[in-house]
Structure 1
Amino acid sequence: MIWEQHCLVIVMTTRVMERGRPKCHQYFEPDVNGEATYGYFTVRTISIEADPDHTISTLQLTNTKTEESREVSHWQFTSWPDYGVPHSARAMLDFLERVRRQQANMVTALGDTWAGHPRGPPIVVHCSAGIGRTGTFCTLDICISRLEDVGTVDVRGTVEKIRSQRAYSIQMPDQYVFCHLALIEYALMKGHLQSADLSGFDQGVDEDSE
């Protein structure tokens, strides 16, 4: 899929192991110059940059049948807690902004060789089941784009649209609440709001989701 769609960026919103159990297969080597093979594709880890909240890996994907190689930027968000959701959205918002910037830079680097969508190939987003944290990330991305374009957001409508294409996205109530809180935090950061009273906003929210 990555090769077929010419994807440039992968977003991983889970750690490989959480709570002592596997959450996601380690589909690329975690060490520089490590190489993994899947059929006639090889994945080589070129570089790794570890920050407190995320890890960025540059991967080289090679089709051994044609000897063609492409660079893929892998962004792993590592500060999502084992239980519930982050208490602050700042790390996730910064992560999302950097992912967008990376996609834009890589599309620009393609130049005239890319004739598809102006914003480039699709970004692949995944977690473990692909519905909870993935749905949360996608909802934030869509809603922030809408806020910047037209000045309004519709979290419920966005989630309903995503669920029509990916069932059970935004898996738990606390993830739904987190989307609202994150958008308020973003609006405050960017000056779309001057103040916000969030007292009692998350009362009664279940904090056991993954």
Structure 2
Amino acid sequence: MSNTTLTYYNQNAKAFSDSTLNVDMSALYAEFLPHVAQHGSILDAGCGSARDAAFFKAQGFTVSAFDASPELAELASSYLQQPVAVKTFQELNSVNQYDGIWCCASLLHVPKAELPQVFLNLQNALKPNGVLYVSFKYGDTERVHNGREFTDLTEQLLSDLINQHTQLSIMKHWQSVDQRPGRESEVWLNALMQRAICKG
């Protein structure tokens, strides 16, 4: 995440958190959770308000969470009632730890050139057969919007990143519209991926 984007979230943490807490994410949870081992471990990576981490925790999963913004992480830890680490995707170095990793509207702030290594970090953090959910704004550009830097992806661009650099396989990808009021014209690319079991 660039310093510009990080500054945005630190300065607007409370307003951003409040604007996301009540968004209905049930359709996305229904895609992701059936693939995660019952009572398994989930990492909410780039957790923002911790809305999703709190839901997973309430469903009986063991939850970990991090965010690059210290201000957001502090709000999130209060909401989640457990510590939320201050960390970037580039600093993720867990190995074989999680049954599921949830990257909802968070990887989109990683520069495109750094996504291959970040996807490797996520792959390595998953247990074999573990599942990764990601979402990006739909498009094919890197851009600055309202003080934040975005990397937009299409199905093909995402497939190219995954197939060329990782042992992840895409189980499903689909488009959805933004659930926040007034943002219905914004299209998201969603994908579920699975880490292959190494044979040998």
Q: Could you state the TM-score of these two structures normalised by the residue count of structure 1?
A: 0.29
> Whose strand proportion is higher, 1 or 2?
2
The structure with the largest helix share of the pair is: 2
Q: Please tell me whether Structure 1 or Structure 2 has the larger radius of gyration of its CA atoms.
A: 1
Q: TM-score, normalised by structure 2?
A: 0.30
